[in-house]
């Protein structure tokens, strides 16, 4: 029997690896890999509307150890922050999945 | 079009609210609510095998602000730690969803 919450955590992992293995360190996201992941997998975040300087700032915010890449821990922290934003959005509305318009 | 990663974050939110609203503070998990959530939604974590003392220790670890409840931020931090555990499990195996035996 599948458990949605367990599947959700697994999706977070498999999505990371879907992009991190494309170039450079197999277990880290380069700037280009991060941009592609956000554009294709998390459009709600709005990375497509970001200009180069804004995206560089985002990368800098996520890259806590300043190695110019985003490792899995940095990625999960980022998703946690986004999830907290989702929660604020949910707290007042009905507790249903967000419907795509 | 649904995006798996966005749905995954939404599931993290809706699962929290499915249990946090049952008793006490609507936006926090009591010890009983946390136990029910873990037992029913995250069996891989193994909370069912925990005795009372072990579960009290877990609750204490998660409850950073020591209000005897787990708020959304504490819950998301907990899930982030579990996801990092999933990632270690995934890093060496194939990048597929974990299959239930």
Chain segment A15-54, per-residue pLDDT in tens:
999 999 998 999 999 999 999 999 999 999 999 999 999 9
pLDDT at B24 over 70: yes
Q: Would you call A4 and B15 a contact, using CB atoms and an 8 Å cutoff?
A: yes
> ipTM surpassing 0.90, yes or no?
no
pLDDT digits (tens, 9 = 90+) for A55-87: 999 999 999 999 999 999 999 999 999 999 999
Contact check, Cβ <8 Å, B83/A12 = yes
Per-residue model confidence as pLDDT tens digits over B77-88: 999 999 999 999
pLDDT(B92) > 80: no
B43 pLDDT above the threshold of 90: yes
* Chain B residue with the nearest C-alpha to that of A3: B41
Question: Hey, are the CB atoms on A87 and B44 less than 8 Å from each other?
Answer: no
> How close is the nearest chain A Cα to the Cα of B51, in Å?
22
pLDDT at position B94, please?
A: 54
Q: Which chain A residues are closer than 8 Å to B5 by Cβ?
A: 11-12, 15, 41-42, 79
- Of A94, A89, A83, A85, residue with least CA distance to A11: A83
Cβ neighbours of A2 in B, within 8 Å: 100
Burial class of residue A36, CB neighbours in 10 A (0-12, 13-18, 19+): middle
Name the phi and psi angles at A29, rounded to 5. Answer: -95, 125
> Average pLDDT of chain B?
90
Question: What class, spelled out in words, does domain B23-88 have in CATH?
Answer: mainly alpha
- For residue A26, give every residue at least 6 positions away whose Cβ sits within 8 Å of its Cβ, in sequence order, or none: A20
Dihedral sign from CA coordinates of A72, A88, A57, A31: positive
Count of CB pairs separated by less than 8 Å, A with B = 123
Determine, for residues B90 and A44 on separate chains, whether the beta-carbon distance falls below 8 Å.
no
Q: Using the predicted structure, report yes or no on whether residue B91 has a pLDDT greater than 90.
A: no
């Amino acid at each position: 029997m599948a458990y949605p919450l367990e599947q959700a955590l697994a999706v977070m992992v498999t999505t990371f690896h879907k992009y991190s293995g494309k170039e450079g360190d197999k277990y880290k996201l380069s700037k280009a890999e991060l941009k592609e992941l956000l554009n294709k997998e998390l459009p709600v975040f709005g990375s497509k509307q970001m200009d180069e300087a804004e995206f560089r700032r985002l990368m800098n915010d996520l890259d806590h150890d300043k190695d110019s890449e985003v490792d899995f821990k940095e990625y999960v922290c980022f998703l946690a922050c986004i999830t907290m934003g989702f929660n604020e959005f949910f707290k007042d509305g009905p507790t249903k999945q967000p419907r795509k318009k």
